[in-house]
Amino acid sequence: MLHTQISSMSLNKGVIQARLDKFDAIFIEHPRLVALREEIDSLMIQTKSRIAKNERRRAAVGNRPIKLDELWLTPVLGPSGSGKSFSLSSVVDTIYGDPNLPPDEIPVLVVTLRSSSRSPRHVQAQILEAFEAPQAETVLRGRDYSEAMVNDDIRAIARHRKTSVVVLDEVHNLLANGLGLAPKMAKALKSLVNDGIFSIVLSGTQEAMPLLTCDAELQSRQKELVDFGAFRLNSDDLQYFVNFVAFLEAEMVKEKVIDAPIGLTNDIEACATVYDMAEGVIGIVSRIVRLALERALRGGKTMITWEDIGNAYRAWQMASPTKGPDGKSGKNRDPFLKGPDHRTLDAMARSLGTNQEVAA
Amino acid sequence: MLLDPHVITVSLEKVKPFIVTEKPAPGESLLGFISRNLSQTATRRLGPGLALAGIGTLRPESLPRTLEDPRQVASLAKLFNTTADEIEARLYRTTALAGSNTVAISFNQVRIRAGFREGRIRRVSPIALRSSAVHRSLWELRPFTFDPETLEHLLDTCPVCSRKLNWIRASEPQMCNHCLDEDLRPIIDLRDFPQSLVEADDVEALTLAPRLLSHVPSVRSDARASISAPWCDLSESELFETIMSISFSLSHDHAHRMGVEWRRKSTELGSLSPMTLCRVSRSILDGGKAFDALLEELRSGRATRKGHYGQFVEFGQMGGVRKNPHMSSAAKAMVYDAISRVLASRPMERRFRGPQQRSEDSVDFVEASLIAGISRQCIKKMASAQLLEVKRGGHRGLTRCVKPTDVLAIAAELNATIPDFEVERQLGIDRLHFSFLESAGLLIRPRVKLRPLLPAGTNYTAASIEALLARLRYPLENDGKAVPINEAVLTLCMDPLPWSAILTVIATKPGYGMKLAEASSDWRTDIFVPDIARFKLEVAEVIDDLPPTTRVVTAVGAAEILGTTVNFVGRAVKRGALGKLPGRPARFDQQSIISFRAQYIYGSELARHFGVSNTNTVHRRLTVRGILPAFSCVGRDLIYAREGLPGVLN
């Protein structure tokens, strides 16, 4: 299972960076990404239609203030490293890549929320900042503040830029200063949606859940959750997971990131080890493989060994403490030292069949 | 207003444009444009809004006059997605009226008095705002109390909250910036409160002055072309100032004393009646005869002008047109020609006390005052100062008579004097220096006998002031390495600066001059020094010749020398620690102050020496060492003898 091939010459920095760049450029279409793209496309179309309807209604009454039809909110939740942000970036890049899109239009705006967000004012300022509007500064620091007035301003900018969906990434940061902020933040998000400004995609970890559940009205505006959680030990999920890992490895060889395959999905045991290593989260597989690649290239090797993967896993795990089985802080079980969990092995065997079938 | 302390003025390089902006409308004021655009954003105050363009100002309403840096103009244009030219066209650059020292602004390229512009209060025409919701620049001018398009009276107060509309909070021009809902949105639409219209049949005359200032060049030239001779030779600026000066003289004919009528408070400039403006404009439009008719009309009211003499009683303030500091000499000559024409057709009526028996060449004091246009009391003073030869006359031989030619000659001499406070304003230096300039022959006082007739204080001849100012405005001959005077004086390392010596050097020595001499030039900044070394040498030479009388400092100068405040200088005088020269305001012999400083030291200077902020700390430290103040009870800033402090100061 272990492959070792040590190059006689150490690699220069240019070659190392070139190979890392090639690895970073690998893009794998996975079912969740497809689901997210479909969800955002659908949300954009529906939002545009409703905004147009609201505008027509407003024009019909001579631009007098009316009760606007509300827009929607789509949660995208998953653990850290599950590929939410990467998937969102890829969806947004695809939208921006449309050659027919005028240069001053921003159909989807991505706002990465900071953990210093303590009030709706901070959220509004960060949205304005993402639009590169200079008034973000005065919203944050000015004397006269009115939430409705700032929403008016954001609406005007959004209409000018033809923005229909705003993605609030790292939304769990809204509760970084305490769960007590949840009702206030939920109301702020609700007013953005209720005022018919744009639809919102909330992307973050499960820690953002109180934000979605504390306000009944906000719940009523929610669309179906796009789940980026770990792949579970059932047949479909495991198929997706193993296919993803296999595809990643094949792409690495094809793009000449490594000279020979690692064998991550050669047999049931390998698949189970990779699954336990990443706890079913595909983003973690990519990260650990990249760390291993860096280690190998620095050591003058042009391919990755299981030993590199194991070392990279331990280095990564040291830097990112996770909760243990008892719910307290602790390290996960190391599959490279103790072998894969028997439950994982059983589930893999059930869903993938024998080793010969896997290899085939 | 207060600048929002939490908003930081961004650097000019980091200015980002607003995303949603509207273009400036033709004829729109700069403040109106900024306010209209800011009202679409979450930044609802002009101060913080301008801070986003890298312009930190406590007085946003003065921006059209104070914005001079081209980089700031460019950044403001960038912030609002417009061109620097559009911003530049809406700025009011400071200049001077032609042939006058009056501070003026360039309003649509026409020079008008700076005082005409209303900065703080926002005035609007509700009816005009219905057709186009932009704030017109003409509404900023105080003399126009109506909108030239709609003839509606302008509104400057919210009809609901009764507060003056202003520029502090940005709002759409049609909204009151004070009346807000709970979300801080304006709620009162001023268009719902139309104002009364000016009832004028002669719209052409009423709108002549606004048309002369129009932002459209063709409208301005058409307005000028519609004017008949002799006024058609004047420029737009001269015509506008002439119309305004005459209108104000008519509208305030009897309300005030005649002598001060050309100096108006800015608030009075807003009280011009449209009907007066219309009447004057018509007389200008129709030319010579119409203006003569206006003067005749003024003469008909002479009976109401009791207590005045000469042309004042005939024409009211129009009689004193020669003293108007704002009108150009050409315009004044035209008005004076008209006055002469009217007087030639019907000479001035004269009042006599009783039957007079005049000699051929002598008149009594009353008639002399009418002829010379000065008061009878003044002629009495001339007579008692033996400036006039007085003869007895009248039907009983008891009336005192003088020759009118003598009175006119002395009156001319009196008129050609300037009081010291005015000289101070024109030269820009303290009157303390005048005695030295006088001794240097640069300032000349009127002859001794005339002095009792002049206002209190020292007076100087206008000719000497003009000669001195003309000398200061010499063009610079060699500007190769010339240094501005304000930088050159710093190399003297003197405190306070010897301005009298500096002025003497510039006025008497060759080589000094201005690169670009204009009416508004200030010698203290615009003079250039060709050679610093020579300048220092020449100033030192002049200072050596300084007579003791000029070595006098004010309380401010004494405080500067002693390193304390004026308050504590005053206290030291009260306690007898410091001697002052007799008279008021307090003045000190510079040498005595310097010797006092050599002998004593203030606690505040010791605090600076010790690096502490509190003089109490100084007092505590010195008391511990057994050092007590030299004078007791001089407030918190105590005075110590230097001889007791050698160890401490070292």
The model's pLDDT over B184-204, given as tens digits with 9 standing for 90+, comes to 889 999 999 999 999 888 899
Highest mean pLDDT, choosing among A220-229, B82-91, B362-371:
B82-91
pLDDT-derived band at B177, boundaries 50, 70, 90: very high
Q: What percent of chain B clears pLDDT 90, i.e. is strictly above it?
A: 22
Stretch (H or E) spanning B417: strand B417-419
Q: Do B19 and A148 touch (CB under 8 A)?
A: no
pLDDT-derived band at B260, boundaries 50, 70, 90: very low
Q: What percent of chain B clears pLDDT 70, i.e. is strictly above it?
A: 90
Q: Does residue B4 have a pLDDT over 60?
A: no
pLDDT in tens, A63-101: 777 787 888 888 988 887 777 888 888 888 888 888 888
Cis peptide before B230 (omega within 30 of 0): yes
pLDDT-derived band at A4, boundaries 50, 70, 90: very low
Give chain A's mean pLDDT: 83
Which residues of chain A does B51 touch, with a Cβ-Cβ cutoff of 8 Å? 138
Show the DSSP H helices in B39-113 as ranges: 46-51, 63-66, 70-79, 84-89
Q: Which residues of B sit within 8 Å Cβ distance of A? A: 4, 6-8, 10, 15-20, 40-45, 48-49, 51-52, 79, 169, 182-185
Tokens representing B565? 């405040």
Query: Span A146-167, mean pLDDT?
Result: 90
Distance CA(A203)–CA(A206), nearest Å, equals: 10
Look at residue B133 in the predicted model and tell me its pLDDT. Answer: 92
Look at residue B355 in the predicted model and tell me its pLDDT. Answer: 44
What per-residue string of b and e applies to A72-99 under the rule 16 or more CB within 10 Å gives b? bbbbbbbbbbbbbbebbeebbeebeeee
pLDDT in tens, B419-454: 888 888 888 887 777 877 887 888 898 888 888 788
Indicate if the alpha-carbon torsion angle B9, B15, B18, B21 is positive or negative: positive
Look at residue B33 in the predicted model and tell me its pLDDT. Answer: 94
Query: Span B108-118, mean pLDDT?
Result: 89
Q: Does residue B393 have a pLDDT over 80?
A: no
Q: Are B280 and B334 in contact (CB under 8 A)?
A: no
**For residue B196, what are the CA distances in angstroms to B123, B132, B149, B199, B267?**
15, 19, 14, 9, 22
pLDDT-derived band at B632, boundaries 50, 70, 90: low
Look at residue B253 in the predicted model and tell me its pLDDT. Answer: 57
Look at residue A360 in the predicted model and tell me its pLDDT. Answer: 58
pLDDT in tens, B552-585: 777 877 887 787 788 888 888 887 888 888 777 7
| Closest Cα in chain A, distance from residue B86 (Å) | 21
Q: Does residue A328 have a pLDDT over 60?
A: no
Q: Does residue B81 have a pLDDT over 70?
A: yes
User: Testing the interface with B: which of A63, A123, A143, A195 to mutate, by most B Cβ within 10 A?
Assistant: A143
Which residues of chain B does A192 touch, with a Cβ-Cβ cutoff of 8 Å? none
| Closest Cα in chain A, distance from residue B188 (Å) | 15
**Which residues, other chains included, contact B499 with Cβ-Cβ below 8 Å and sequence gap of 6+?**
B429, B430, B433
pLDDT-derived band at B92, boundaries 50, 70, 90: very high
SS (HEC) of B425-458: HHHCCCHHHHHHHHHCCCCCCCCHHHHHHCCCCC
Tokens representing B396? 């009983």
Q: Does residue B139 have a pLDDT over 90?
A: yes
Distance CA(B498)–CA(B370), nearest Å, equals: 47
Q: Does residue B99 have a pLDDT over 80?
A: no
Tokens representing B432? 């303390």
Tokens representing A85? 């942000």
Which residues of chain A does B44 touch, with a Cβ-Cβ cutoff of 8 Å? 142, 144, 149
Nearest-5° Cα angle at B634, B633 to B636: 95
What is the bridge-based pairing of β-strands A73-77 and A226-227?
parallel
Q: Does residue B267 have a pLDDT over 60?
A: yes
Tokens representing B204? 């052409």
Q: Do A135 and B4 touch (CB under 8 A)?
A: no
Q: Does residue B84 have a pLDDT over 90?
A: yes
* DSSP secondary structure, A48-85, as one string: HHHHHHHHHHHHHTTT----PPP--EEEEE--TTSSHH
Higher pLDDT, B399 or B154: B154
Query: Span A243-252, mean pLDDT?
Result: 89
Q: Which of B8, B15, B43 faces A135 most closely, judged by CB atoms?
A: B43
Look at residue B25 in the predicted model and tell me its pLDDT. Answer: 93
Of the ranges B215-219, B352-356, B413-417, which one carries the lowest mean pLDDT score?
A: B352-356
Q: Does residue B266 have a pLDDT over 70?
A: no
pLDDT-derived band at A357, boundaries 50, 70, 90: low
Virtual CA dihedral for B168, B170, B176, B180, nearest 10 degrees? -100
Indicate if the alpha-carbon torsion angle B352, B354, B360, B361 is positive or negative: negative
Q: Does residue A2 have a pLDDT over 60?
A: no
Higher pLDDT, B537 or B150: B150
Of the ranges A30-34, A154-158, B53-57, B257-261, which one carries the lowest mean pLDDT score?
A: B257-261
Distance CA(B609)–CA(B618), nearest Å, equals: 10
Which residues of chain A does B169 touch, with a Cβ-Cβ cutoff of 8 Å? 144
Distance CA(A180)–CA(B60), nearest Å, equals: 41
pTM of the model: 0.65
Higher pLDDT, A111 or B606: A111
pLDDT in tens, A21-41: 988 888 887 778 888 888 888
Please tell me whether residue A326 adopts helix, strand or coil conformation: coil
Tokens representing A136? 């973000």
